[in-house]
A = this chain, B = another copy of it.
Amino acid sequence: MSNDLLSKGLSLVRGWFEPPPEKVLERIRDELRECADLIGGEVSARQRAAKLAKTYAELDENGRRAFLRILLTEFGPEPERIDAAYDAYRAARGSDEQWQAEAALRESLRSPRSRILTQFSASDAGVHFLVDLRAELLDFLRDDPLLAALDLELQGLLASWFDVALLELQRITWHSPADVLERLMQYEAVHEIESWQDLKNRLDSDRRCYAFFHPRMPSVPLIFVEVALTEGLAGDVQQLLDVSAPLFATERADTAIFYSISNTQKGLRGISFGHFLLKRVIDDLRRDFPKLERFATLSPIPGLVRWYRAHPEALADAFTASDWRRLRAAGAPEGMELLQRLLETPEIAGTEAWREALAAPLLRAAARYLLATENGRALDPVARFHLGNGARIERLNWLADTSPKGWRQSWAIMVNYRYEPDKLQDRIDAYERDGLIEATSAVRRLAR
């Protein structure tokens, strides 16, 4: 591209960041160019990529933004080549040459920047670097939407690298490497792990933990799931996380509860492993515990309170006359005042006197929220994930997560999604095609 355009490209972002001195920009350009050129065999090109990774690592934020801008705007495919390839493609349309011309057009769009990114893979921190780079890029996107085009290219590369066929399922136990366990502690997103002792409890003989690993990031669990073996459906996360609870005798287990699923790499956003993980884990559990009859999650409802905040009238609608009667008896405030407080300080639902009276209307509100759809999709992100994998909404649980976070996001309500291996496919089809949400009649009744 012309230098004009570039300086324009950079000037565009001048408003919000101070580009580094021209000398630094030149060094970045030189190194990128060397990488793109592939001069001197791939081995040395990769060495140069390693150097480039080091350069990037040593830049400050402004430097990094400039780096990514330059990569995007100065190392794209040649417009003239694209034009020529497209013209040839148009001309060949309908003839035998069409396919070759299509391939040539695709090739004309392969950019020096994709060559550069590919080479990063062999730097010392290797694959990991690219994953971290994308995590950072996703942050920069907010201020600099131009970079979205670069993100697309990077995501495509990572998606092929992190194809689930390349991942390895591993069971995590207390005998797993400490650095892996340390990462579990760091990444657990659903129910924070507080100490090595807490972690050890979650890896006990009545638990299972599984993770996917990539052969080139052998110590980094990409996604992991924590499972508890129980008798009957667990409806209370406090009990599952209680370090002092006695060990459960697994020979009595008839249910596997997936009580936490965490993605660890922001840089792999949009590349999904979750449903594969669940499928593989269910297979593994069935082999080890042939008596298991039920596979279900105990899941948060992260969007519940937030959604009602935007639709307070729908919350009001969930309270029947008899609900209000019982609340009055319990000394709760009336009408909008109560609703407002439920939306602003959801934890007040836990106030001792009101608890019992609030169970019915709030569970009703939760059931309605979970069963509703928008554009053929469930409203809640976690619901979307599990319904899209073929689960059914099995049961709602009152006072299931009484942590501050639990109150704040969903009045301490949690939900079990159940996986019935034989019915997954039909349910996925019904949900994906027709937006049908599968739920037990108990849940449906609750929603009335």
Interfacial residues, chain A to chain B (CB-CB below 8 A): 5, 12, 39-44, 72-73, 76-77, 79, 82-83, 86, 89-90, 93-94, 96, 99-100, 102-103, 105-107, 109, 118, 121-122, 126-127, 146, 148-150, 152-153, 157, 160-161, 163-166, 168, 174-182, 196, 200, 215-216, 219, 272, 275-276, 279, 388-390, 424-425, 428-429, 432-433
Distance in angstroms from A182 CB to nearest chain B CB is 8
B77 and A43: CB pair below 8 A?
Answer: no
Given contacts A160-B161, A163-B121, A176-B178, A279 and B43 within 8 Å (CB-CB): yes
Give the residues in chain B near A219, CB-CB below 8 Å. 175
- A428 in complex: contacting residue of B41, B157, B276, CB < 8 Å: B41
B433 and A146: CB pair below 8 A?
Answer: no
B161 and A276: CB pair below 8 A?
Answer: no
A41 and B275: CB pair below 8 A?
Answer: yes
A42 and B272: CB pair below 8 A?
Answer: yes
Give the residues in chain B near A93, CB-CB below 8 Å. 79
Q: Which of A100, A106, A148, A152 has the most CB of B within 10 A?
A: A106
Give the residues in chain B near A103, CB-CB below 8 Å. 148-149, 152-153
B388 and A100: CB pair below 8 A?
Answer: no
Give the residues in chain B near A429, CB-CB below 8 Å. 39-40
B146 and A99: CB pair below 8 A?
Answer: yes
A100 and B148: CB pair below 8 A?
Answer: yes
Distance in angstroms from A376 CB to nearest chain B CB is 13
- A109 in complex: contacting residue of B72, B94, B105, CB < 8 Å: B105
A425 and B105: CB pair below 8 A?
Answer: no
Chain B: which residue is nearest A151 at the CB level?
B103
A99 and B149: CB pair below 8 A?
Answer: yes
Chain B: which residue is nearest A273 at the CB level?
B42
